[in-house]
Amino acid sequence: MSEQKKRIAAIKGTKDILPQEARKWQRVEAQAKGIFELYGYREIRTPVFEGTELFEKGTGQTSDVVTKEMYTFVDRGGRSLTLRPEYTPSIVRAIIENSLHLRPQPLRFYFIGPMFRYDKPQKGRFRQFHQMDVEVFGEEDPAIDAEIVEMADFLCDSLGVKDRNILVNSVGCRRCRPFYREDLEAAAEKHRDELCDDCRCKIGTNPLRIFDCKVETCREVAREFPKITEYLCSDCDDHFRQFRSYLDSYGIEYRVDPFLVRGLDYYTKTTFEIVSAELGAQDSILGGGRYDDMMKDFGGPDICGIGFAVGMERLLTLVRSKEKPDIFAYVVTLGEDAKKVGMDLARAVRRTGVECLIEYKKRSLRNQMSRADKLGAVWVLIIGEEEVKKREYQLKKMESGEQISYTREELLEFFSRAAR
Ligand SMILES: [Zn+2]
Ligand SMILES: [Zn+2]
């Protein structure tokens, strides 16, 4: 084999989702869409790539996502473009650009699709990964924070995700967070020597990110740091209190985790995560929070937002279910005339809503039957010279072995009923 031929392979950090697995994806996506729509969310689809400045501005200049992980390239027109590393900035841009904020609020959107980050590939982490994303704009009431957590919990429940916990926190706002940051920075500075290199860099730039570090010694040190919940202004404190009271009235169990700050810069007030012990160290199934200043920061209207993102790859490892087997009919024919009749019948059967395949290779009847059996056909439609002449066709039910002669009309009637 030539050097060139050998090199064709999927890019590191990407993977093929093969048909059997794709079935599971389809089912999970359909279930999620159904649930989101019950709460009034509607799908929005935006381009896979955007101008680089959108993410620089939206995700935050100091964010790891921007500084280390973006797929950025210059196109033939000399523009700097980036494959989206997260979804929220794209939605915010689309709202402003299409004046969606002029429609009745709150605006509720969902989205399912691929994201791209030049991350260190590791188990369960991909450079092209997939997210489901949910966003609400224009609702300040903490009841929406509780509703969105309740919906996320319902989604996990309906997919049979076990052993899950809900974590909530408030990260304050632009008024109260600076005081916290100051004290946090001082505390981190005192323990500089005990922190990893990454965390040391974060002390001066974004000390809140130290809480995201997975290094055990850093986590231990960080546990002694001041808690943001003790610094909330009265507005943030009220919001957090009400949010929790609404969760209580739903009867939803949760734990307040004062160190849940989430990795991104734009969060204000509520943050939350649903975690599963089954996932190990990277235990988050989904996470999100409020971003009340983001739209304004983008030069858009001053409307608040809240949302969450679900990592599909991780979620799918927790979804356990047998996918239903394919139910289909298989047409076997003998001779050119029978083939044409068979093709026409297969076409008509598909229009009744039943999957139908036809054998095109010239094989013996026996050979075709064993192939149908191997593929798992539920019914086999047999058409030979005799059947063409009589205009009656043999339908074999594979499970029982029963064989019945049908006219075209009877056959289509049979499949119409089977499709229901
Ligand atoms: Zn505040
Ligand atoms: Zn660290």
* Residue 395 Cα distances to 110, 210, 385, angstroms: 45, 67, 15
Residue 241 CA, ligand 1 centroid: distance in Å: 13
What pLDDT score was predicted for residue 350?
Answer: 97
DSSP 82: E
Question: Which residues have their alpha-adjacent CB atom under 5 A from ion ligand 1?
Answer: 172-173, 175-176, 233, 236
Instruction: Write out pLDDT tens, residues 132-176.
Output: 999 999 999 999 999 999 999 999 999 999 889 999 999 999 999
The contacts of residue 93 (CB under 8 Å, 6+ apart) are: 46, 50, 54, 58, 298
Residue with tokens 């975690």: 275
Q: Which ligand is nearest to the CA of 236?
A: 1
Beta bridge partner(s), residue 115: 129
Q: Is the pLDDT of residue 305 over 90?
A: yes
Cα-based angle 110, 113, 115 (whole degrees, multiple of 5): 115
- Tell if the pTM clears 0.85, that is, is over it: yes
- How many angstroms does the Cα of residue 197 sit away from the middle of ligand 2? 7
Instruction: Give the pLDDT band (50/70/90) at residue 8.
Output: confident
- Residue 364 pLDDT more than 80? yes
Token pair 């985790």: residue? 257
At 332-345, the pLDDT tens digits run: 999 999 999 999 99
The answer, yes or no, to whether residue 204 has pLDDT greater than 90, is no
Encoding tokens for residue 157?
Answer: 């429940």
- The one-letter code for the residue type at 39 is Y
State the distance from the centre of ligand 2 to the C-alpha of 270, rounded, in angstroms: 24
Task: Inform me whether the pLDDT recorded for 217 exceeds 70.
Answer: yes
Using a pLDDT cut of 70, give the percent of the chain over it.
Answer: 95
- 108 by DSSP, 3-state: which? strand
Q: What is the pLDDT of residues 249-295, one digit of tens each?
A: 999 999 999 988 876 667 899 999 999 988 776 688 999 999 998 88
Q: Which two tokens stand for residue 313?
A: 């790859």
- Measured in Å, residue 176 CA sits from the centre of ligand 1 at 4
Q: What is the pLDDT of residue 67?
A: 61
What's the mean pLDDT in 406-419?
Answer: 96
pLDDT at 369 over 80: yes
* Mean per-residue pLDDT of the chain: 91
Please check the confidence at residue 61 and state whether its pLDDT lies above 60: no
Q: Give the whole-angstrom CA distance, residue 163 versus residue 259.
A: 21
